[in-house]
Amino acid sequence: MLPANPKRTAWTTFRQELQVEATAGRWLAPGRVNLIGEHTDYNDGFVLPMALPLGVTCVAGVRGDGVVRLRSRQRAGEPIETSTGALGVSGWSELPEWSHYPLGVLREFTRRGYEVPGVDLDVDGTVPIGAGLSSSAALSCSVALALRDLFAPSVSAAEIIDIARTAENVYVGVPTGVLDQSAAILCTAGHVLFLDVRTGEHEQIPFDLEGFGLELLVIDTGTPHRLVDGEYARRRTECATAAEELDVPFLRDVASIDDTDRLTDPVLRRRARHVVSENARVRAVAEQLRTGGDPRAIGPALTAGHRSLRDDFEVSAPPLDTAVDTATAQGAYGARMVGGGFGGSVIALVDRDTTSRVVKSIREAFYARGFQPPRTFAVTPAAGAHRLS
């Protein structure tokens, strides 16, 4: 007889206790890939993400004793028990970093005046962590949706997005924009989301891959990105400085890419050039898809976006460049890194019947360069966050 696995036993016990303690339901929030529009959200610009058929599920149960219990299937050895009153602005360094996302969401609900008498949270995710596919926003948004439905049904989708973003900014320490949280909450199946970050106006644009015999391939390079390491924050500061020197509120307000030539600092000039050109690419891709055109036509914009992220924004990495270069050499219509950068994933738009060849070539190229084998999978636009039961 095999000995009992203590982690599995603890997990099973927790699940049984949740069932006893009035489990109220399950909620799912998806990860995302951003078809185009990287590092434009905190510059008040435009983005074009889609939700993934991968996400984070939150099982939530109501308690009446002020206790907060949190467990993650991915962190089975790190159960957390605290109280709603203990989640102030201090003491976060003593908690595991992953817990700052859901507990930060809970803290924001109570800070904004929504009463949470106690809750059990059981989370489980399928989004690869560190792959640039927004597993953190999926975690935050699944918990936010559960808390909204259980304790604060009047909270709007816009406030859920703000709560989840604030949790990441304040309690994790990453100064992200609203791209990831907006994608998790607002996306719909079969569509990409065209979002004007400044106004909040958004449009669901059909993205019919199957009808055109295409696949959107995700290549997880296995190179984790860590936005808390400071480079992401540095890029945001550089963009704000460039906007100030150009005398505009945000780089979104720069009228022409030629205006970036007024910046004397070559680094700031490159950062601004990326943001201005990327906003133009988002609008062009959205228009191409909006009019029902063949998605193959957006390929050059995807690849141009990667070159801009690599050369002007300087957030790429050798495995990302290898995946992009190999995919395009093997016939992909376009390819680019996604996410904050410095690692993570690449997307490639390919004909369905060439997917195997592209994947094989990328694996061979990674092996030849001594990189670890990438994980590859095709994705279609999925639904945004919703209640499962």
* Residue type at position 329: A
Taking the C-alpha atoms of residue 162 and residue 144, their distance in angstroms, rounded to an integer, is: 10
Give the CA dihedral 253, 341, 356, 354, nearest 10 degrees: 20
Taking the C-alpha atoms of residue 173 and residue 296, their distance in angstroms, rounded to an integer, is: 39
Partnered with residue 376 across adjacent β-strands are 219
Q: Which residue from 357, 349, 347, 352 is spatially nearest to 332, judged by alpha carbons?
A: 349
Q: How far is CA 4 from the centre of its chain?
A: 37
CB 101 within 8 A of CB 56: no
List active site positions. 180
For residue 57, give every residue at least 6 positions away whose Cβ sits within 8 Å of its Cβ, in sequence order, or none: 26, 27, 28, 123, 124, 125, 142, 388
Give the CA dihedral 228, 89, 124, 114, nearest 10 degrees: -130
CB 336 within 8 A of CB 306: yes
